[in-house]
Amino acid sequence: MKKTLYDKLWDEHHIHSFDNGYSLIYIDKHLIHEVTSPQAFEGLKQAGRNIWSKKSIMAVPDHNVPTKMREDGIKDPISKIQVDALNKNCQINDLLKFDLEDIRQGIVHVVGPEQGILLPGMTVVCGDSHTSTHGALAALAFGIGTSEVEHVLATQCLLQKKSLNMQINILGKMPEYFYSKDLALLIISKIGTAGGTGFAIEYTGDAIRNLSMEARMTLCNMTIEAGATTGLIAVDEKTISYVENKPFAPKGEEFLKAKEYWSNLVTDSGANFDKIVDVDITQSSPMITWGTSPEMAVAVDDKLPDLEDEKFFSRKEDLLNAFSYMGLKEKQNVNSIELDKIFIGSCTNSRIEDLRIVAKIVKNKKIAKNIKSAIIVPGSGLVKERAEKEGLDKIFKKSGFEWRSPGCSMCLGMNDDKLNEYERCASTSNRNFEGRQGRLSRTHLVSPATAAAAAIHGHFVDVREII
């Protein structure tokens, strides 16, 4: 029988079928951070249960950690309790953890692939919806709640019902300055934030094959914003050379054996998808979100929606709500939107390639006077080190950006990095929900290139016009 990549990953990890349609699925890797794990460890302790496989776990604090003055430690006492709880749980159980002082520390979804802890063909879970990132490695990776974190700790398994298969087939070549973040926003604006609910999505097409591994991670990361918990890309040469020589990846003979296994992690030709969506990108422009849901996105050379235009997905009330919250008007030109802050970072866009793109655009330019703050938060200590070796930090600082230490930072504002009320931010993160970056904050999701261009001009501009 012809199988999709998702079918193959599923079958390889399938342990048991229950007669009610559920299956027991084995989990290879379990990523843990401080926010969604303490109640799971506590539950385990109360039930007197043990961790099934300690070596399947990688832990790292990221959501609560400060991104400046790291040497002073965590000042917020409540955040500190949570990070201390993670430390304690890892210590007691002897789990692999990258401490705040460790250069390998960073955002869990940047660190995992960077270390080669996550490999093609694995099942990967984390109490974090952006676990979908790792589908870029052809790993079956998805976010779970805290009760399921506890379930995996105790049993190394999850009870799952198989998802349906969806193929998103990209037609045409990626236009210049149209990045995988733009592609993700374009897809979400087409299929909606619930378009992928119930599906595992596989991205296909020459454009996908031409994306770098980091760009693939950005696309798979945003899959959850289209409602699908899993976004996959088949293994190719790029996948294998990305993994090769990573610290935790197999070496020598074992690598060769693994490579052979990995090369089968592709959808068989003729395999059945329950749903196929074609997205033509030939004429596409960089995207920005204008509203309070990732599906509320337009091309940067377009206008904001016309409330009378029936083609828009939403009801009028939803559009009105979003316009009012965002302090914007219908039919407004995108380039008339002035910004207060710029955030470059998050598990979506904080890898070295993202930083290089930003550096290229801001080099020898100053950020606009109306920008109150522009911060760049690398995804890990190793990304930071690499950027500094390449001299990117100097370019950023000279332009007026702050160069921070790694963490989730302003993507969700659990640490000190947040927006004040009514502040407007061009952000390379993944969610523009009400209050996401701070109470009454206004978030526009964009690619690193568009964020960088906005920093220089103080308002949104079409990055293609300023190069």
Partner 1 sequence: MKKFKTVESIAALIDRKNIDTDAIIPKQYLKAVTREGFGDNLFDDWRYLEPGNLGDDHSLRKKNPDFFLYNPKYNGARILIAGDNFGCGSSREHAVWALMDYGFDVVISTSFADIFYNNCFKNGLLPIVLKKKEIQELINIVNTNKYLIKINLVDQTVLCNNLKIKFEIDARRKEVLIEGIDDISETLKLSKKIKDYENKKALKTPWMFNG
Q: Interaction with partner 1 in 99-158: which residues (CB under 8 A)?
A: 119, 121-122, 127-129, 143-148, 150-151, 154-157
Q: How far is the CB of 214 from partner 1 (least distance, A)?
A: 23
**Which of these ranges, 299-307, 341-349, 373-381, 409-417, lies near partner 1 under the rule CB under 8 A?**
409-417
Nearer to partner 1, 230 or 349 (CB): 230
User: Could you write out the DSSP letters of every residue in 105-116?
Assistant: -B-HHHHHHHHT
DSSP annotation of 380 reads B
93 counts as binding partner 1 under rule CB under 8 A: no
Considering only residues 331 through 390, tell me which ones interact with partner 1, judged by CB under 8 A. Answer: none
- 69 Cβ contact list (under 8 Å, min separation 6): none
Determine the distance from the C-alpha atom of residue 109 to the mean position of all C-alpha atoms in its chain, rounded to a whole number.
Answer: 7
Confirm or reject binding of residue 172 to partner 1 (CB under 8 A): no
289 near partner 1, judged by CB under 8 A:
no
Partnered with residue 32 across adjacent β-strands are 59
Nearer to partner 1, 122 or 456 (CB): 122
Interface with partner 1 includes 311 (CB under 8 A)?
A: no
- Could you tell me how many residues of this chain bind partner 1 (CB under 8 A)? 80
Q: 205 or 413: whose CB is closer to partner 1? A: 413
Cβ closer to partner 1: 130 or 459? 130
Q: How far apart are CA 425 and CA 418, in angstroms?
A: 10
Helix, strand or coil, per DSSP, at residue 25: strand
Bridging pattern class, strands 157-160 and 23-26: antiparallel
Tokens (6 digits) for 75: 């000042």
Q: Answer yes or no whether residue 260 interacts with partner 1 by CB under 8 A.
A: no
Q: Cβ distance 9 to 100 under 8 Å?
A: no
For the segment 48-67, give every residue that binds partner 1 (CB under 8 A): 49, 52, 54-56, 63-64
Phi first, then psi: give them for residue 197, nearest 5 degrees.
-60, 130
DSSP 51-120: PS-GGGEEE---SS--SS-GGG----HHHHHHHHHHHHHHHHHT-EE--TTSTT-B-HHHHHHHHT-S-T
CB of 115 to partner 1, least distance (A): 12
CA dist 1 → 7, 261, 273, 343 (Å): 11, 19, 13, 47
Q: Does 2 bind partner 1 (CB under 8 A)?
A: no
**Per CB under 8 A, which of residues 291..310 are in contact with partner 1?**
293, 295
88 binds partner 1 (CB under 8 A): no
CB of 79 to partner 1, least distance (A): 6
Q: Where does this chain touch partner 1 (CB under 8 A) — which range of 12-20, 333-341, 384-392, 451-459?
A: 12-20
Residue 161 found at the interface with partner 1 (CB under 8 A):
yes
- 211 closest CA partner among 189, 234, 228, 243: 234
**Could you tell me which stretch among 233-241, 269-277, 340-348, 435-443 binds partner 1 (CB under 8 A)?**
435-443
Q: Which of 101, 206, 254, 309 binds partner 1 (CB under 8 A)?
A: 254
Q: Are 4 and 138 in contact (CB under 8 A)?
A: no
Binding residue (CB under 8 A) for partner 1 from 3, 9, 10, 28: 28
